[in-house]
Amino acid sequence: MSSLAEYAWLVPVFPAAAFAALTAMGRGAGRAGAWIGTLASLVSLILSLLIAGQRLSGTAEEYSNHFDWIQVGNTTLPIGFEVTNLTSLMLVVVTLVSFLVNLYSQGYMKDDERISTFFAYVALFSASMLGLVLSYNLLTMYIFWELVGVCSFLLVGFWFRKPEARAAAKKAFIVTRIGDLGLLIAILLLFWYMPNHELDFTNLHNVFGTQTGVISTGITTLIALLIFLGAVGKSGQFPLHVWLPDAMEGPTPISALIHAATMVAAGVFLVARTFDIFHASQAAMDTVAVIGAFTAIFAATIGLAQNDIKRILAYSTVSQLGYMMLALGVGSVSAAMFHLFTHAFFKALLFLGAGSVIHSVHTQDIREMGGLGGRMKITAWTFGIGALALSGIPPLAGFWSKDAVLTAALDGHPVYFVVGVVAAFFTALYMARLFFLVFAGKPRGDAHAHESPAVMTIPLVVLAVLAALAGFVQTPFNGWFGEWLTGEAEQEHASGLVIIVSTAVGLLGVYLGWLIYAKGTVRRDIVSSRMPGVVRLLERKYYVDELYHYVIVKPLEGLGKLLIAFDDYVVDGAVRLAGMSASAIGRLNTRLQSGQVQGYVLTALIGLVILALAVAGRRFW
Amino acid sequence: MIHLPTLTWSDAWYLAPELTLSIFAVVLAVLDLFLPRSWNRNIIGWLTLVGLASAAAFVVWLMIDFKNAAAAHPEDPTAAFRNLLGGSYRIDDFGNLLKLVFLGASGFIVLSSLGSVRSSDIPLKGEFYYFMLPAALGAMVMSSSGDLITLFVGLELLSITSYILVGMRKRSGLSAEGAFKYLVAGGVASAFVLYGMSFLYGVTGTTNLAFIGEGIPAAITDYRALVYVAFFLMTAGFAMKLALAPFHAWAADVYQGAPTPVTSFLAVVSKGAAFAMLYRIFMNTAFFAKDDPFVQKDLYLGLSVLAAAAMIVGTAGALRQRQVKRLLALSGVANAGILLTPLAIHLTPLHSSLFSEFVYYLIAYAFMNIGAFAVLTVVSRGSGNESLSGFAGLYYRAPWTAAGMTVLLCSLSGLPVTGGFFGKLFILFGTVQTGAYWLAAILLVTTVVSYAVYFSFIRQMYMRSGSDDSSIRIPGPAGVTIWLCVAATLALGFLPKPVLGWIDALFSIPADFLAR
């Protein structure tokens, strides 16, 4: 029986074809364009499910195929695809969220006049992301890595008439470019140092995983750190996290698809895919763990003090990605991928729920919302499930995956564990704040809130079910998922301590949030009145943006002005000089062109004499 | 006393392309006389095309023949060429390749003028078409001669025919003026060439190029000054024919006066034929002057200086030009400089690919010029004038033609991925290889400046709106020509290697120039 994996390359082809079709049809496609995009994503989803299903049976071999793309001298640059358990899992996650977001957008973007452009971009993004997931070597991956970056740029700036959207799109693109540059250098270094210039993941695994010593530790660390820089940019880790909250200027379904479930997880996926390189360098592993842990708690504290519903979720995403990095840093790929898996569902759910709310009340400020629970029952319930899952309340998906991460962290270093637990507490607290302010209490704004149409609520329900149940693929009592994913049995360490502590902090956070924001037993300004400085610090997001503004942007602007001055006076001066001399020669030519043929012949004769004297005459002096 | 061999039947086979053209020229001239006036003279045009095509077919046949012969007798260096009439005429791959270019270019030009030439402009349309045949024949003779006299006969055949062609627009004062100026300038050029040839004959005692080559070293020891005089006179004459600065002043007036297809013929075929002759003479004679420490170097330096001057003056002059034909004439001056560059940096062990570089750019140059002139023909019909502003809003009036013209302009300015880009690139490589950095620098700088020239078209086509926004009707044959030229330009840009490889495989300097 032929393996379906051989046809895995078709998965990205469908959305790519949809993109081509939508682009060809132009704006006239309208609603039909939306259905083309949705249909393509559905076909991809079905194919991905079949591929993953075949792999689940456990018999299928890993399949990879490639062709030589460029041949320069003795070096070939192949591109190709590869299907492993890890990639098939990612295929399902990406196509599923992509399909649901497509469906949801049918309602959310209904009145936008550029709806078919939107669906074209989404299709291009899906194709690129699937290509990234399927890549068989780093080169292929890098191409798609850049493509998803472009799509992110296009979609964040989709409402380009808003100056904030334009600025956010630029910021997202430029900040992630910093990381991309690191990744590019890492790929070049690998190309240089790898035997035969091989860049495919199998060879990377062989060289870094089994044949130690082929590449020196110093270079390995350097390469790993540069790859991680790419991941930091894409996954919004400190200190390159600044673009992700601003990227919320894009349409909300995009925030769900790109900036919560898939693209931002590409950084985690990249590290997981090249994990052998990291594993070969303890310094790199420690860096990943420290950055991950720091980002987790750092972003969670900022999330406590934000008032924009999407920004809170964005900081939450940054924080949760930090958890995944932490898990990778302490050596547990399976915990990281598990958290990525569950996070994709509940965070997409939360964003789509937030979108539903925004769609209904036309504001993003949670202080102007309230009491929506009664009028938007499906949204409220599903959002609640997502919030609980994120807060790590058993038995929802987020609990199990966060538990796996925390268990791995405890194995690594107690400090990581403590940081993770504190961040989990903050997570529960800010989600409780968000939920109760939006859905409980009395209505604050004057909006006529109403439930969203079915195309928007069905994805919410599907995701809510997944957010509730997806965690059961791996529990401390059932290590099936990790075994399937990494091919080796995880040693069983159901840590009662971790379960109890994480459940406790989750419940404590939710309870405290309920007390403050729903019941009102604890005054809201209890912290801000006593420590206004701290709150201000959090509200201003630790002044990181301001810091960058003064430390990086301003000096660069100064440098730019200097260069402009140089350009204006020195370069342009030279250009003007060249231009002037060219037109002077031209004028001379015009004068020669008198129309008198005897003049022409005389010029020719003088030309001959001068030429002959100048070139040959010197021989006869 | 030299024994003069006579033409045999077996020789006639090798002359089949030339004979075909002669026969077609005579028959069509007679046919034109006897055809009733009411008949459209386009029939003559189509028959001219048939004549050109059958001559080209014969050339291809001969090339295949040579290739097979060379493959059958690899040890025999004389298998791949043929000396006729005591070495005064030679059939070799150099000549055949250029003949194909000339015949192809003439064919495209005839094709583009079918349906575009109006009787009100050119009263004698039949003549206009069939005069292309002797003109092409002259060019073929120039590319295939082994003797100064045959070369000169070819040159005169081409020149005299083109004087007539330039004056075809009988009712236009500009055309008559152009024809007159061309006659005077061409006559002066022929005088220069002939005077130089006579010195060459004087110092070597022969008109046969191969014997001149043998006699050159001795001539240099005895009459060094006269050798210089001979070559500089010939160089000046060819520089006039090629319109190299400062011998180019006639070109703008003549190009403007001539009917546009003829302008295109002058720019491509006449220029190419003059180059063929220059190659024949320099490769067979000046090349052998290498024993003397100075002479050969000086002669090639003279060519380099002319090439540089042509590039600079042509580009700078085109900057200020608003009349499209004059602009393209000056662009032709600059391109002549570029085409001269491979020869001017001459053959060294480092640089053996001069002919491939030259022919590649010549082919690219032919396509982009014929295409551009064909566009100019339809545009000037549509807008009623030949100034740059006639292109205003072309994108809205004929979007596909504007797109095709954009490709041709990219090729003219040397932007990828077009034939012009690779042609310039190969020439640049050759220049750098031989260490002629100053010439490379001039080539690069003038290329950059030329963007300003060619982009003024693009600005007009896309960013200006013309006074008239009715769509332009493109006659079928002209449209086909434009698109064939665009396609060829792109093909040369996307697949430079096969074409270059093909030229390299066909052509080798020892067999095709020097062997006798």
Q: How far apart are CA B205 and CA B210, in angstroms?
A: 12
- A587 part of contact set with chain B, CB < 8 Å: yes
Tell me how close the Cα of B232 comes to any Cα of chain A, in angstroms: 6
pLDDT higher than threshold 80 for residue B461: yes
What gap in Å lies between CA A268 and CA A296, rounded to an integer? Answer: 14
CA distance A587 to chain B (A): 7
- pLDDT of B516 > 90? The answer is no
**Which chain A residues contact residue B320 at CB under 8 A?**
583, 586-587, 589-590
B324-to-A343, A533, B316, B483 alpha-carbon distances in Å: 66, 73, 15, 20
- Cβ partners under 8 Å of residue A257, min gap 6: A97, A98, A101, A122, A125, A263, A348
- pLDDT of B93 reads 84
Q: Residue A66 in contact with residue A81, Cβ under 8 Å? A: yes
Which chain B residues are closer than 8 Å to A578 by Cβ?
Answer: 445, 449
Which residues contact residue A618 at a Cβ distance below 8 angstroms, ignoring those fewer than 6 apart?
none
Q: What is the maximum alpha-carbon separation in chain B? A: 71
Q: Which two tokens stand for residue A21?
A: 């079709």
Q: Of A390-394, B24-28, B219-223, which has the strongest mean pLDDT?
A: B24-28
pLDDT of B275 reads 92
Tokens for B451? 């963007």
Q: How far is C-alpha B307 from the geometric centre of its chain's CA atoms? A: 16
Of A583, A604, A606, the CB nearest to B188: A604
Burial B68-97 (b: 16+ CB within 10 A, else e): eebeeeeeeeebbbbbbbebbbbbbbbbbb
Tokens of B7: 């033409």
Contacts of B180 in chain A (CB under 8 A): 597
Å between B323 CA and nearest CA of chain A: 13
Sequence-distant (6+) residues with CB within 8 A of A373 are: A380, A439, A440
**Residue B160, C-beta contacts closer than 8 angstroms, at least 6 positions apart:** none
Which tokens go with A587?
Answer: 């004028």
Find the largest Cα–Cα distance for chain A: 111
Helix (H, G, I), strand (E, B) or coil at A449: coil
pLDDT at site A85: 82
- Which one of B224, B300, B320 would you mutate to disrupt binding with A, by most A Cβ within 10 Å of its Cβ? B320
Burial class (CB in 10 A: 0-12, 13-18, 19+), A491: exposed
Backbone angles phi, psi at B41, to 5 degrees: -75, 0
User: What average pLDDT score do residues B271-290 get?
Assistant: 84
Give A574's contacts in chain B (Cβ within 8 Å).
Answer: none
Calculate helix-pair angle for B437-458, B295-319, nearest 10 degrees.
20
CA distance A485 to A472: 15
Of B250, B294, B320, the CB nearest to A590: B320
Lowest-confidence range among A277-286, B210-219, B364-373, B505-514? B505-514
- Rounded to 10 degrees, the C-alpha dihedral B475/B481/B483/B484 comes to 160
pLDDT for position B53: 94
Contact A361, A375 (CB under 8 A): no
- Residue B504 CA: distances (Å) to CA of A253, B353, B356, B507: 59, 8, 6, 5
In total, chain B counts a number of residues equal to: 516
Nearest neighbour of A601 by CB, restricted to B185, B245, B449: B185
**DSSP letter, residue B387:** B
Distances (CA, A) of A57 to A92, B35, B340: 16, 86, 72
The token pair at A302 is: 């900022």
Which residue among B239, B301, B313 places its CB closest to the CB of A585? B313
Best of B182, B228, B322, B340 to disrupt the A interface by mutation (most A CBs within 10 Å)?
A: B228
Helix (H) or strand (E) holding A465: helix A454-469
Q: Is A615 on the interface with B (CB under 8 A)?
A: yes
Residues of A in contact with B250 (CB under 8 A): 597, 600
Do the chains contact at B253 and A582, CB–CB below 8 Å?
Answer: no
Q: Which of B256, B311, B449 to mutate to test the interface with A (most CBs of A within 10 A)?
A: B449
Nearest CA in chain A to B445: A578
Query: B241 or A542, which is more confident?
Result: B241
Q: Tell me, what's the pLDDT at B351?
A: 63
Question: Is there a contact between B314 and B336 (Cβ–Cβ < 8 Å)?
Answer: yes
d(CA A597, CA B253): 9
Interface mutation target, options B163, B166, B174, B181, chain A, most CBs of A under 10 Å = B181
Residue A71 contacts B, CB cutoff 8 Å: no
Instruction: Report yes or no: A504 at the B interface, CB cutoff 8 Å.
Output: no
Please, which residues have CB within 8 angstroms of residue A219's CB and are 6 or more apart in sequence?
A189, A193
Instruction: Find the length of chain A.
Output: 621
* Å between B185 CA and nearest CA of chain A: 7
Contact between B122 and B172 (Cβ < 8 Å): no
Please tell me the predicted confidence (pLDDT) of residue A1. Answer: 42
- CA angle at A276 for the pair A270 and A279, rounded to the nearest 5°: 105
**Which residues of chain A have a CB within 8 Å of the CB of B252?**
593
> Could you tell me where the DSSP H helices lie in A195-242?
201-204, 217-234
Separation of alpha carbons B138 and B265, rounded Å? 13
Paired sense of beta strands B82-84 and A75-83, if any: unpaired
Mean pLDDT to the nearest integer, B131-146: 92
Chain B contact for A596 (CB, 8 A cutoff)? no
A505: enclosing H helix or E strand: helix A496-513
Computed over every residue of chain B, the mean pLDDT equals 86
List phi, psi (to 5°) of B147: -145, 140
**Which chain A residue's Cα is nearest to B235?**
A608
* B68 or A26: which leads in pLDDT: B68
Q: A160: which 2 tokens?
A: 């380009």
- Alpha-carbon distance of B467 to B463, in angstroms, equals 13
CB neighbour burial string for B47-65, b if at least 16 within 10 angstroms, e if fewer = bbbebbebbbebbeebbeb
Which residues of chain A from 552 to 581 reach within 8 Å of chain B, CB to CB?
Answer: 578
Cross-chain Cβ contact A612/B232 below 8 Å: yes
Which residue from B minimizes the CA distance to A600?
B249
A602 close to B (CB below 8 A): no
**Å from A604 to nearest chain B CA?**
5
Find which of B298, B315, B333, B442 to mutate to test the A interface (most A CBs within 10 Å of its CB).
B298
pLDDT at B50 over 90: yes
Interface of A with B in 422-481 (CB under 8 A): none
Q: Rounded mean pLDDT of B74-78?
A: 68
Nearest-Cα distance to chain A for B288, in Å, is: 18
- Where is B83: in which H helix or E strand? strand B82-84
Whether residue A590 lies within 8 A of chain B, CB to CB, comes out as: yes
What pLDDT score was predicted for residue B394? 83
C-alpha of B237 from chain center: 16
Reduce the DSSP state of residue A72 to 3 states and report it. Answer: strand
pLDDT band at B514 (very low <50, low <70, confident <90, very high): low
Contact B249 A582 (CB under 8 A): no
CA atoms within 13 A on the CB side of B230: 25
Q: Residue B2 pLDDT more than 60?
A: no
The predicted pLDDT at position A140 comes to: 85
Higher pLDDT, B471 or B304: B304
Contacts with B229 from chain A: Cβ below 8 Å? 612
Which residue would you say has higher pLDDT here, A528 or B123? B123
CA A613 to chain B, closest CA, distance in angstroms equals 10
Beta carbons of A593 and B246 less than 8 Å apart: no
Range ranked top by mean pLDDT from A525-534, B75-84, B350-359, B491-500 = B491-500
CB-CB neighbors (< 8 A) of A593 in chain B: 249, 252-253, 317
Q: Tell me the per-residue pLDDT of B323-334, one tens digit each, with 9 for 90 and over.
A: 888 899 999 999
- Cα dist from B515 to B91, B146, B347, B456, B511, whole Å: 12, 11, 16, 48, 5
Q: Residue ranges per domain, chain B? A: 14-514
Contact A582 B319 (CB under 8 A): yes
Q: Say which residues have a Cβ less than 8 Å from residue A22's Cβ, sequence separation at least 6.
A: A29, A33, A36, A37, A116, A117, A119, A120, A123
3-state secondary structure of B84: strand
How would you write A420-437 as a 3-class SS string?
HHHHHHHHHHHHHHHHHH
Residues of A in contact with B246 (CB under 8 A): 592, 603-604, 606-607
Asked whether the beta carbons of residue A608 and residue B233 sit closer than 8 angstroms, the reply is: yes
Q: Which residues does B contribute to its contact with A (CB < 8 Å)?
A: 180-181, 184-185, 188, 192, 224-225, 228-229, 232-233, 235-236, 239-240, 245-247, 249-250, 252-253, 294, 298, 301-302, 305-306, 312-313, 315-320, 330, 445, 449
pLDDT score, position B295:
81
Scan for tokens 């200086």, then name that residue.
B305
Per-residue DSSP letter, B1 = -
Nearest CA in chain B to A608: B236
Residue contact B236–A601, C-beta within 8 A: no
Q: Which of A492, A476, A473, A480 is nearest to A342 (CA)?
A: A473
Most confident of A122-131, A551-560, B387-396, B466-475: A122-131
Q: Which of A214-218, A468-472, B198-202, B432-436 has the highest mean pLDDT?
A: B198-202
Residue B295 CA to residue B303 CA, distance in Å, equals 13
Q: Which of A583, A608, A613 to mutate to test the interface with B (most CBs of B within 10 A)?
A: A608
Beta bridge partners of A64: A82
pLDDT computed for residue A489 by the predictor? 57
Residues of chain A with pLDDT under 50: 1
C-alpha dihedral, A509 to A511 to A514 to A517, nearest 10°: -40
Query: In this predicted structure, what is the pLDDT of residue B57?
Result: 93
Whether A163 has its CB under 8 Å from any CB of chain B: the answer is no
Closest listed residue to residue A231, CA positions, set A147, A174, A292: A292
User: Is pTM, for the whole model, over 0.90?
Assistant: no
One-letter amino acid of A186: A
